[in-house]
Chains A and B, each alone.
Chain A
């Protein structure tokens, strides 16, 4: 068995209806096991950026990359795992709280540089950003108070420095721009 290595893939895809469906359908059909997928706009109008996390232990990452490339709407795929990157995830957690526990929760939140974004009589909502380990640790500490609700975005990532992890060539950018004008 291959050792568990979490691969971070960045896919630049055309911002069109059904693209996420195509990607998800491909993963399902080929039995690719995806840990997380996060999608949003990129710096180029008409181009969305997906950050996909795949466990190399149970999925052939190279196949994921190649099969993604075959989708017509996918412009570029890069495996940035071995690059120096910044990887972040955001989580919102609603925790049971009483006047007695609130200050303790606040302390933990402070240590993690997280924020309280909502306070109710019987709960607080915490917003935390960081890598998966940091969020896992915070959740571990907060578990004792009672987690009422949790939402995580999945990883988004970017390569450090000027090289960039997934530069789109000028020709592709022009094509995307032309397509948007039509």
Chain B
């Protein structure tokens, strides 16, 4: 069958199971967009800025586990994708980004809207391609989806010169890929699993840190089995939220810079860390030389390069998390760590970390809790970056995996709204809450237009404190309270929303928080709530930069009331 490059790409997308493409047109992708009419099974979502297309594709991937897809034109279209691609790269989200390029005769001549996007994205993609003729297209698409979605997932970019879109080629979709340098299946070494089992049975104070890898690998049942069988307490990273039942007796919350104090204490006292699908980010370890001084480390990850990168592993186990844990569980015998668990319970009693002070104004933590209460923990929570992100992480209830969506590695402000679009497209029947800050929201609020255009019933909660709050908090603690460039004004968000056709309201009375959230939840369509919160509320606990994770700033006890 003779097809042109654009048709071959579309055929490939259909074969790979793509149903939604987020993007924005331009001169070098006209030919590709023109083909969409022939492929009604591909739903195209027009965003208002290419960055949003990448975030939406990324979040779509995170909530479904399938490869997300976005498209932009050459030059500025492609560079606008960059932040979104980098966000996906650092959080291992599978994504295929397609960009148009100037035609082949113009390549390298600084033609209008020519930019070397494969060069630019080299360090922020798992792999990328410049398709130099239509004959390569089918194989490239096959490879791109294979690479993006297998192993440790990540973004792959396909750059297509505009004359390749219209070049004819014989279409035959390859059944398998021939990638000599890429192994999607990692063989698990049984002796390493045995060593891990031995280390676990020998430990007195073991602790599991579970990360994004558990979610990507769908290894929840296996993780639970391991924890229960060996009676090991479980803490998770920011991106690990939802990988272990939060009401479980062995669950001890999030660790890290704004983790629960007791989780960080436990980590510091542990004699064995079982790190599962996490990469010892500095927001987890803080100062490396002081991190978990007593612990040996069993590090399980599908990416061998993560093992030993930041923290030395005594027992490295490379492999898919679910596969490794399945094998490991066979070798694990029933254990009991009653004393150790009691000790952590004691830490929790002394340093509850979850307590909220009394305040006449609305406290952001209470907004997050009200959302959790109203949704019963069944909503998908999508955050921006900053204080609100940490409050959302600390106080949300997440019943299902793949339901807490946040930019962890790159920390991309403006992520929430476009990511909420991707999340809602990926799981249409579910409630999606975009919990955002007033600073973060202003970076991508143009996507209200996309929400309205696609009739997406996304609920938006802006925790509005008039500050770029996380930086303000640092200035308060470490920079002599000099609030340089952190007080930030905003427009009337309700009016802005109304202009886009999205209803909303301001909430400034703490007694009206829950009712407003119920109203938004029950509203048939998107709804925006502008919560005017206590302006200088801080995120606690907080590990000071350069300290050990057990040296935390906590909510001053005098201010705490029991709830």
Kindly provide the distance from the CB of B528 to the nearest chain A CB, expressed in whole angstroms.
40
Kindly provide the distance from the CB of B337 to the nearest chain A CB, expressed in whole angstroms.
33
Kindly provide the distance from the CB of B282 to the nearest chain A CB, expressed in whole angstroms.
16
Q: A25-B123, A29-B123 are in contact. Are A63 and B305 (CB under 8 A)?
A: yes
> Contact size class for A?
20 to 34
Cβ 8 A contact of A72, one of B136, B181, B309 = B181
Kindly provide the distance from the CB of B297 to the nearest chain A CB, expressed in whole angstroms.
16
Contact with B along A3-36 (1 / 0, CB 8 A): 0000000000110001001100110010000000
Question: CB distance B180 to A176 under 8 Å?
Answer: yes
Residue pairs across A and B with CB atoms within 8 Å: the count is 50
Contact residues in B for A176 (Cβ distance below 8 Å)? 180
Contact with B along A29-65 (1 / 0, CB 8 A): 1000000000000000000000000000000001100
Contact residues in A for B119 (Cβ distance below 8 Å)? 21
Q: A72-B181, A75-B181 are in contact. Are A66 and B122 (CB under 8 A)?
A: no
Contact with B along A155-175 (1 / 0, CB 8 A): 000000000000010011101
Contact residues in A for B180 (Cβ distance below 8 Å)? 14, 75, 168, 171-173, 175-176, 179
Question: CB distance B178 to A71 under 8 Å?
Answer: no
Contact residues in B for A182 (Cβ distance below 8 Å)? 135-136, 139
Contact residues in A for B130 (Cβ distance below 8 Å)? 18
The distance in angstroms between the C-alpha atoms of A75 and B181, with both chains bound, is 4
The distance in angstroms between the C-alpha atoms of A29 and B303, with both chains bound, is 18
The distance in angstroms between the C-alpha atoms of A175 and B182, with both chains bound, is 11
Contact residues in B for A178 (Cβ distance below 8 Å)? 178
Question: CB distance A67 to B181 under 8 Å?
Answer: no
The distance in angstroms between the C-alpha atoms of A160 and B179, with both chains bound, is 29
Question: CB distance B181 to A14 under 8 Å?
Answer: yes
The distance in angstroms between the C-alpha atoms of A26 and B304, with both chains bound, is 16
Cβ 8 A contact of A73, one of B118, B123, B181 = B181
Q: A63-B308, A67-B305, A182-B139 are in contact. Are A74 and B181 (CB under 8 A)?
A: yes
Contact residues in A for B147 (Cβ distance below 8 Å)? 72
Contact with A along B338-381 (1 / 0, CB 8 A): 00000000000000000000000000000000000000000000
| CB closest chain-A residue, reference B154 | A70
Interface positions, chain B 120-135, Cβ under 8 Å from A, are: 122-123, 126-127, 130, 135
Interface of A, secondary structure class, is helix
Cβ 8 A contact of A69, one of B126, B135, B179, B305 = B305
The distance in angstroms between the C-alpha atoms of A67 and B147, with both chains bound, is 16
Contact residues in B for A26 (Cβ distance below 8 Å)? 123
Kindly provide the distance from the CB of A19 to the nearest chain B CB, expressed in whole angstroms.
10
Question: CB distance B139 to A72 under 8 Å?
Answer: no
Contact residues in B for A168 (Cβ distance below 8 Å)? 180
Question: CB distance A72 to B182 under 8 Å?
Answer: yes
The distance in angstroms between the C-alpha atoms of A126 and B411, with both chains bound, is 56
Question: CB distance B178 to A72 under 8 Å?
Answer: no
Question: CB distance A25 to B305 under 8 Å?
Answer: no
Contact residues in A for B305 (Cβ distance below 8 Å)? 63, 66-67, 69-70
Contact residues in A for B135 (Cβ distance below 8 Å)? 182
| CB closest chain-B residue, reference A11 | B181
| CB closest chain-A residue, reference B136 | A182
Question: CB distance A72 to B179 under 8 Å?
Answer: yes
Question: CB distance B118 to A66 under 8 Å?
Answer: no
Kindly provide the distance from the CB of A126 to the nearest chain B CB, expressed in whole angstroms.
38
The distance in angstroms between the C-alpha atoms of A154 and B11, with both chains bound, is 47
The distance in angstroms between the C-alpha atoms of A18 and B128, with both chains bound, is 10
Contact residues in B for A75 (Cβ distance below 8 Å)? 180-181
Which among B119, B122, B308 has the greatest number of chain A C-beta atoms within 10 A? B122
Contact residues in A for B178 (Cβ distance below 8 Å)? 175, 178-179
The distance in angstroms between the C-alpha atoms of A69 and B135, with both chains bound, is 28
Which among B127, B135, B178, B180 has the greatest number of chain A C-beta atoms within 10 A? B180
Question: CB distance B122 to A13 under 8 Å?
Answer: no
Cβ 8 A contact of B126, one of A21, A72, A76 = A72
| CB closest chain-B residue, reference A17 | B130
Kindly provide the distance from the CB of A16 to the nearest chain B CB, expressed in whole angstroms.
10
The distance in angstroms between the C-alpha atoms of A14 and B179, with both chains bound, is 10
Interface positions, chain A 66-93, Cβ under 8 Å from B, are: 66-67, 69-76
Question: CB distance A25 to B181 under 8 Å?
Answer: no
Which among B119, B127, B178, B308 has the greatest number of chain A C-beta atoms within 10 A? B178
| CB closest chain-A residue, reference B132 | A17
Kindly provide the distance from the CB of B115 to the nearest chain A CB, expressed in whole angstroms.
16
Question: CB distance A25 to B304 under 8 Å?
Answer: no
Q: A63-B305, A66-B304, A69-B304 are in contact. Are A21 and B122 (CB under 8 A)?
A: yes
Which among A63, A70, A76, A176 has the greatest number of chain B C-beta atoms within 10 A? A70
The distance in angstroms between the C-alpha atoms of A13 and B182, with both chains bound, is 11
Chain B residues close to A by CB (< 8 Å): 118-119, 122-123, 126-127, 130, 135-136, 139, 147, 178-182, 303-305, 308-309
Known: A72-B147, A175-B180. 15 other contacts (CB 8 A): A13-B181, A18-B130, A25-B123, A63-B305, A63-B308, A67-B305, A69-B305, A72-B179, A76-B181, A168-B180, A171-B180, A175-B178, A178-B178, A182-B136, A182-B139
- Contact sample, A vs B, 14 pairs, CB 8 Å cutoff: A13-B181, A14-B180, A18-B130, A25-B122, A29-B123, A66-B304, A69-B305, A72-B127, A72-B181, A74-B181, A75-B181, A171-B180, A175-B180, A182-B139
